[in-house]
Structure formats: structure tokens, C-alpha cells
Structure 1
Amino acid sequence: MSASHDESEQDKTRKRVWILTRHYPPDVGALSYRLKHLAETLAEDYEVTVLTAQPNRYEGATKAPAIERQENLTIRRISSVQLLQSRGKVGRLLTELLGALWMSLVALRHRGKMDIVFASTPPFFYGLPGLVVKRFGRRPLVLDLRDLWLDWAEETGLLRNPLLAGSMRFLERSIIRSADHLTLATEGFRDLLLERHGTDPACATVVFNGLDKVLIPEHVEPAAPRDEGAPLQVLYAGNLGPSQSLVGILGGMLASLEKWPALRITIIGDGAQRDELSGASHPRFKVLPHTSREELARMCRETDAFLLHLAALDVYRHTVPSKLFEYAAYERPILCGVSGEARKICERHAACFTFDSDDAASFASAMDRLCGGEPADNARMERADQTEILRASRAPIWRKVFASLS
């Protein structure tokens, strides 16, 4: 029997996995890159189809091919329309809802081609296509939850109407309880959902955001001691929205940047606060657009320290930003403005100069300690070996989850 015949027979026995997601490359961001890694990992053992929207996360996104085919992997992109010209909260919310409903209809039409469905959030409403295929197509559903959006919406006051909040909580419960397996971003998420929804612990797996394989350093040289007066480069790379809240901590500090003559700050990314950050004028402060992952890896190797920050919200005590693992892999100090689970991971894996979220004075104090060459705040704490961060690979965990459904 020929090898080509064997391969053909193997293809016929492959389970068919559909990944339903709002964002996928060439859309930029940690979510897109993470799902690309998932699709390529699963394509080693399954016939994979990604159903996604046209690139839309940031203004200026260009249209991608409606269908792309690779070995054991097909990417289908459906049109997404910005409902309102304003990119404000209401416009985005309505756009996400209509986009999720449209994807639900498209997915339902293809349900006969699916053996397992994987639905990823955020955005919140994109759990809905998974629920629809589960209910009407009766296919096993893996639900991927990377944030607690409803908790955030209620805590920030975005969701004030009790009737609307109750309706969305009902939808959330329906989506979560319909899943055959949950993959969750943090231990904190897992504990909360087990308590709220009575989920079987065996059906809830923590898959940390982990490392993008492009950004895994082949070899990292420990930071060399700095000569007095030598430039000190601090890098932030990621979203520039209210969740990251960089305007609050950087705004006042830039006015007194002369206090740290060696300091250079580079911000890379896009989001709602980008224009305000770009408006800050100082020769030692730069705001750059998203760059390629390869170029970002080069900049990570060359920086002296990283900035990590989330807004001072209780929901973020259970959040671990994707960039934390990437920063820690480069063995550079981290200006650490996060709390809860993220701070514990940061202190275990990196030299941390900690400060309180949304506290400009606390941030300035941490910068004083960094620029002054003081020991890291966790210098006396036991630290994990860097190989533990480099082993934060998602692929083996995903394979185990999907094997349990196959």
C-alpha cells in the first residue's frame, strides 16, 4: 500500500476541530497569537478549521483572504462591520453582539463538518457561537475563558442596569454550563468558576497565557552591570487601553523625567489611550505602533527593564497578563504594578520593583529604586529557575484536553 494512500486514510480518520474566535492573525495581540499556536498544534493530530472575523481589533487593520488553506488547517474569515463610527463602549458592545450572532449562524450552518468545537473569549459574546453549536448541533464544546469581562463591566460601572446585568449573567451561566470542558487563564478564574457554577474540577483546566514561541529567547545574557550615567531603557509592549491604565501612572511622571536623566521609556502598542500617550512630548519617551514579533523579540533582548501594569480593580487580582511570562523569560527587572496572582508569579520569576496600581507616587518610588541601582524588592525571596517559565508551554495541556474529548 502506498504512503500517499496511508496518508489519505489517516486524514479520513482525523477528528474535525472548529475554533470559533473574533481575533486571529493578521489581527495583532496576545489572543490572536495564542490561538494561532493552538490551531497549529491541533493540526498535527486533527483537521482544524478556524472561523474568525476579518482583522478588526485596531483602526487601520487591512482585509485578509476570506479562506486560507494550510496542511490540516483552514482559516475562514467572515465580514465584520463597525456598527457605529464611534469606537466608544456602546458602539463596540453592539458590534460585538451582532458579530457573535452572525458567527453563530455561520457556525450552525457548518455544524455537520464539526466533531469538536472550541470557542474563545474575549470578547464576551463570542462564547455564544459555541453555545449555539452545542445546543443545536450537539457537538462537544471546549470553552476558553481568558478574562472575567462581566465582573469588570460591573466593577467599572459600564453595566449599571440591573435587568441588563441579570440577562448577561444568565447568558454567561448558560455558556459556561453548556461546555464539556473549560480552559481558564488563571487559578483564580478556576476557583471562582468552580464556586459560582459548580463546575466539575476534572472539566476545568488552567492554561496559562504562557509564552509565544516567537518570543522564547534561545539564549538570554544576564543584564550587565550598568555604568553610572549609562542609559536605562524601560520597555512596555501590549494593549494601551483603560485596563492597562498607563496614562494615570506615566502622565505626571513625564513632567519630572529630568529627575532620572538616564531613563528612556518606550511604549509599543495600540488602544484607547494611545493618542493621549502619543501626545506627551519628551525626547526620552517614545510611543511606537505594533511591530512584528521578531522585532519585538529583538527589543526585549536589548531592554534593561520592563513595565507591567493593570488598573486598580478587584477583578484584576485574578488576571495574569500574557506579557508577564514574556518579560520574565528575558531575565530583566520588572516594574510591577499588578496584584494578586500576577504579582505572586512575577515575584517568583523576576526581579520586581513593585508599586501600587494606578498610584503615580508609588510608581515614581519604584522608578527611583530601579534607577538608583537598589536591590529588587524581592531580592531576598526564593526565586524559581528560568526554565520553569520557559516550560510554560500550552501545547501539551491542549493536547490532553482535546484527547479527553476524542
Structure 2
Amino acid sequence: MMVGDRSDRVTVASNTAGAFAPALGSGGLRVLVLSQHFWPESFRINEVVVSLRAFVNVEVLAGQPNYPMGHTFKGYRATGIGTERHPLGYMIHRVPVVPRGRGGTLRRVANYVSFVLSALLFAPWLTRGRRYDVIFVYANSPVLQGLPAAFLKRLKRAALVIWVQDLWPDSLEATGYVRNKAALAAVATVIGFIYRRADLLLAQSRGLVEKLRELAGSRVPIVYHPNPGDIAMMERCTAGTSAIAMEPSCFNVVFAGNLGAAQALETIVACAETIVDPSIRIILVGAGSRATWLREEIARRNLRNLELAGQHPPEAMPAIFANASALLVTLGRANNLPLTIPSKIPSYLAAGRPIIGSLDGEGADLIRGAKVGFSVPAEDAAALASAIIEMRNLPAAKREAMGAAGRAYFEQHLAPAALAHDLVQHFHKALGRSGQGGT
């Protein structure tokens, strides 16, 4: 997410953090959301918090924003400690983090570990005098952020709910950041320790449930809770002026999101090299650790049908999606990646555009089962090229029917407000199990 000067921020001195009333919500539960990455970074948890505020009182504990560009956002400091008020009125407690930099392994480890240590050290001070019923962890990478959450659970006498997005240590191995078997085993031990401290684990896909059981044991309940789609996509995905120029006479396939190791970007490059139809364009919207590699490959192979469009703010995405001919999602096939559902899929469904997938597992099953597009095996560039060409040759009415089916699936299964209501019910169950009660 691109940001300018955060002139709309209201930064609050840490020694006054306890003076604020909780964020307005119609429910009585007090929830502290713990997520290393949060607004103004662009992550699904941002909108989950917006939806939750209709039901409960919410505050957030996060790091200093630096994703995906790798440097701390303007208006923030990597070493900053304090509390700010989000424009919607709720409190965000910030702790220091080492910025990701260019995304190398050592820098990434420093980024993860610094948040864990900073949260352990400074969160009790930032939240002193404040009571919470539930500590809710948005557990994408790094899942290690569950360590300070487990500590805060005991300190605040709250229930702990962890919403697992990435399967650690498997995702570390799959993306190539950690290959040493002893190190992976050590990470698995720590993750198991974290999960066993939870009162409830939520899995973003059904396929994760049994894998989580292997790490968490039989004591901790595990429940499927999917990622919702974007609120903005649901409300504003209508064709208008797009921030990206799309030639009306072309078939514009848009990929949006992280450009990282898990996305099997080699498949997209090889696919683009295979397609000779000049009217087909593949547009990559986003940023990530492999953006430089992509740029170099596009130049080296002289690919005129593959474009890096850069990072765009969330408010620009509905128009970009609405003007796309089809939306593309790719994922590698290493280890347990097929057990996850890429978080872009709910947003694609909300956009009401046909989807082309190159992935295995639950994401592929959803695309096929809901009849919202085509899905081919992960990392099969030739099959992906064929699927794009086949989608291009379909009558426009059939593509529109796929998009409409996606929107209908979203509204029935992935609407943010309904999932926020379900999440609150999960909180109450966790409270009952923890014995902390609630007020």
C-alpha cells in the first residue's frame, strides 16, 4: 500500500494510553487484536477489525509499518513506541521492528524476532491499566507473534484465539527461507508451544485443521473460519477510471497481491512467453521480494505481454478489478501450500470477475466447484497459457456468468459482516473455555 505523509495521524504519548475509552462497538467484549502487520499496510486484518467494531470494542497491537517495500512508512519510525488513533477512532499500539529491507533471510528473521521481543517488552507498558477479554492473533507470517500473545493472555487474564493463515514451519521450507531440518524442527516445537496456549485455533481453510491438530495436540479446539473479502470490493467494484491503463481491445488478465516465493511467479513468466496472441496481456499489481527478479526476466526475455504495474492503494483496486477481463491467482505446490486458500480469492469473488487459477488444493476446488472460472495444476505454465486462451475465446456472456457466480458465492459464504458475527461467537466460546468469563 502506498502512503504519503500521515498528516491525518493522531499520535498519542505512551504515558496517556490508558486514558482512552475503547473503540465504539455495540458489544461488551474487549478485544486486543495482535498483528505484526496492520494499517497503513494492506492486510486482510484491517477490514476484519472494521467489521468487528460493529460487535465488540477493539484495539490493536502492531509493529511499525514497513511492508512490502521494506522501509518504514513516512510518518513512522522503526524505533517508535506509542499509541495512535486510527481515523475510525480505535487505538493502535505500536512497538519497534527492524524493517524487512530487501527481504533477505537474515533481515526477515530480524524483522520477525524484533517484533516478538518488542511486543513482549513494551506491550505490557502500552496497555497497562487496560483490560481485555480476548487476545486475538492474526497469525500470518510470522506465527511467532503468538509468543507475546500467550504472555498477554496470562497478564490480562484473557482468552487467546489464534487465526492461523500460514502453516509454519512448512511455509518457511516451501518458500526456501529455511531449509535446515534442525531449525525447522525447532520452529515446529515453538509453534506447538504457542498453539497449546490458545483457547481456540481458527483455520483459514479446512485443509489446515488436521495439520494444526498435529502441532496443537488434542486439547485445543480447532474451527474452520475463512478469510472474508474486501468491504470496498463488495461496495464499489464497478467499472470506472482505472489507475492502470488497460487497452479495451485487449484481454487483460490481472494478478494482484504479494510478489513472493510462494506465488510461483516463474509459472507466470513461462506462461507469458508461451502466449503469442498480442491481444492477451498479463498485468501484475503489487510488490514483494521477487519484484526485481520479475522486472529483470521481463527485460531479458523481451516479454511485451507481461507488465509490472507496481503497488496501488486499496481504494484503487475495485476499479482495477472491475476493468480486468479476468483475475489470476497462482500458488506453488511445495509441501502444504495447497492446504491454504490465497487471501486474494475472496476479493476476486467479490469483484465479480472470472478467475483463472494455477494452484492445487482447496483454492482450486473452490474455483471449480463454484463455477467461477478455470483452474489448472500448480506450476504448469503450458496449462495456464491454455486456460487463459480458452477464457479469452469464451463468449462474453459466459465470462460474465462466471463473475456473477463468484459474486453470489462471496455473498453467501464470505461476506465480511456475517463472518465478523461468526468470529464474535468464536470469541464467546473461547471465553467460556478459558474460564475468564467476560463482561
TM-score for the superposition, normalised by structure 1: 0.83
- The answer to whether the 8 Å contact 2:353/2:406 transfers is no
Correspondence list, 1:8-47, <5 A: 14-28=28-42, 32=43, 34-47=44-57
Which one is further off, 176-185 or 273-282? 273-282
CA offsets per residue over residues 311-370 of structure 1, 9 Å max, x none? 121311211011112222334332211111111111123443332212222222223322
Cα–Cα, structure 1 residues 97 and 218, in superposed 2: closer, same or farther, change >3 Å? Answer: closer
The structure 1 residue matched to 2:422, chosen from 392, 397, 402, is 397
1:3-402 maps to which residues of 2 (within 5 A)? Answer: 14-28=28-42, 32=43, 34-59=44-69, 60-64=71-75, 66-69=82-85, 73-82=90-99, 87-109=103-125, 110=127, 112-115=129-132, 116-122=134-140, 123-155=142-174, 158-199=177-218, 203-217=221-235, 230-246=249-265, 248-257=266-275, 259-279=276-296, 280-281=298-299, 282-373=303-394, 386-391=407-412, 392-393=414-415, 394-402=419-427
**Contact 1:354–1:377 at 8 Å: present in 2 too?**
no
Partner Cα distance (1:62, 1:326) in 2: 25
In structure 1, distance between residues paired with 2:271 and 2:29: 55
Distance change >3 Å, CA 256–CA 154, structure 1 → 2: closer
Measured against aligned partners, the alpha-carbon deviations of 1:20-47 in whole angstroms (never above 9, x if no partner) come to 111111112xxx2x22223333333443
Higher mean displacement: 103-112 or 176-185 = 103-112
- Residue type matched to 1:118 in 2? F
Query: For residues 352 and 28 of structure 2, what CA distance do their matches in structure 1 show?
Result: 41
AA paired with 1:89?
T
Number of residue equivalences: 381
SS of 2:93 mapped into structure 1: strand
Provide the rounded CA distance (Å) in 2 between the counterparts of 1:256 and 1:387: 34
Provide closer, same or farther for how the CA distance between residues 377 and 337 of structure 1 changes in structure 2, counting only shifts above 3 A: farther
TM-score, normalised with respect to structure 2: 0.77
- What is the rounded CA distance, in whole Å, between the counterparts of 1:180 and 1:256 in structure 2? 50
Where does structure 1 lack aligned partners over 5 or more consecutive residues?
1-6, 222-228
Amino acid at match of 2:324: T
Cα distance, 1:200–1:345 mapped onto 2, change above 3 Å: farther
Q: 1:145 to 1:112 in 2, by over 3 A?
A: farther
Q: How far apart, CA to CA, are the structure 2 residues paired with 1:94 and 1:376?
A: 51
Moved more, 180-189 or 273-282: 273-282
- Structure 2: distance between partners of 1:15 and 1:170: 32
CA contact (8 A) 2:255 2:284 kept: yes
Percent identity, aligned pairs only, is 26
The 3 A distance-change label for structure 1 pair 156 and 241 is closer
1:230–1:288 CA distance, 2 compared to 1 (3 A): closer
Structure 1 contact 305–335 (Cα < 8 Å) conserved: yes
Cα separation, 2, equivalents of 1:311 and 1:89: 19
Give, in angstroms, the shift of residue 196 of structure 1: 4.4
CA distance in 2, matches of 1:219, 1:137: 41
Q: Which residue type is aligned with residue 232 of structure 1?
A: F
Structure scoring higher RCO (CA < 8 A, sep ≥ 6) equals 2
Q: Hey, what's the Cα distance between the residues in 1 that align with 2:350 and 2:260?
A: 24
Bigger shift: residues 130-139 or 96-105: 130-139
Note the C-alpha offset of 1:138: 3.6
Cα deviation 1:35-82 (Å, max 9, x = unaligned): 222333333344322111111112255144653225762112222223
Segment of structure 1 superposing worse, 48-57 or 212-221:
212-221
CA contact (8 A) 1:332 1:350 kept: no
1:136 Cα deviation from its structure 2 partner: 4.7
Letter in 1 for 2:197: S
Q: Structure 2 vs 1, CA of residues 376 and 22 (structure 1 numbering), >3 Å: closer, same or farther? A: farther
Distance (whole Å) between structure 2 residues aligned to residue 82 and residue 360 of structure 1: 34
Q: CA RMSD in A?
A: 3.3
Q: CA deviation at 1:271?
A: 0.5
